[in-house]
Amino acid sequence: MKIVLFSNTGFLINELKKSTIFTNINIVKTIDELYSLDINENIIFLHHLDYDENYQNLFNIISELFDSYKLIVLRNNPNNIEGCSLLKHNVKAYMHAISNIHILEDAINAVINGNVWLYPELMQFLISSIPLQENNKNKLLEKVSVKELEVLELVAQGLNNHDISQTLNLAEVTVKKHVSSLLKKLNQKDRLSLALFFKNQA
């Protein structure tokens, strides 16, 4: 897996250079450089929108040049409406352009594993915009424990692990274990799909 960054932002370049996980990083500053890339394998493409506002054209070029790629978009001031729109264009992660290396690595790993990565406010916005159906909790309790169901309900409200731990008076590491267990038991990829699963239970 190769990483390509389309940006001239020093902060992003310096953060990615700190990675001990992803060392094969190509930095591209012009479309011509993009055409000259010799990559025949899967790539993760990080695009800094503020660097190129005509991003739809760039997305089209990427689609033409590469058979297999996953797109991460960064923005100086990310917003929920744009984030929702980009998700419809097959963007797999949307994040702040001054995210540190730990956040960047989390997002890249999520995308590599076939998941979507969103900043918490956008995740909550997406989840809260989906109407909650009348849930059959007894049916869910055949698959998950009572405590896992409590965690699942809060995930479906868009709460992050820290907020869930405060609400249920649990250690954050315990909440993380419950979420992992729920993903496995309910055969879901990520928190968003977990929330959708819960909200769609009739």
Q: What is the pLDDT of residues 133-186, one digit of tens each?
A: 556 677 788 889 999 999 998 988 878 888 899 999 999 999 999 999 999 999
pLDDT at 106 over 50: yes
pLDDT at 202 over 60: no
Cross-sheet strand order for the sheet of 69-75: 25-28, 2-6, 43-48, 69-75, 91-96, 117-118
pLDDT class of 28 with cuts at 50, 70, 90: confident
Q: What is the model's pLDDT at position 55?
A: 77
pLDDT at 21 over 90: no
Q: What is the model's pLDDT at position 134?
A: 58
Model confidence over 118-141: pLDDT tens digits?
Answer: 888 888 888 777 765 556 677 788
φ/ψ (deg, to 5) at 124: -65, -40
Give me the domains of the chain, ranges plus CATH numbers.
2-118 (3.40.50.2300), 126-199 (1.10.10.10)
Q: How far apart are the first and last CA of the chain?
A: 40
Q: Note the pTM of the prediction, 2 decimals.
A: 0.73
pLDDT class of 27 with cuts at 50, 70, 90: confident
**Minimum mean pLDDT among 69-78, 145-154, 191-200: which range?**
191-200
pLDDT at 192 over 70: yes
pLDDT class of 75 with cuts at 50, 70, 90: very high
What residue ranges in the chain does DSSP mark as E strands? 2-6, 25-28, 43-48, 69-75, 91-96, 117-118
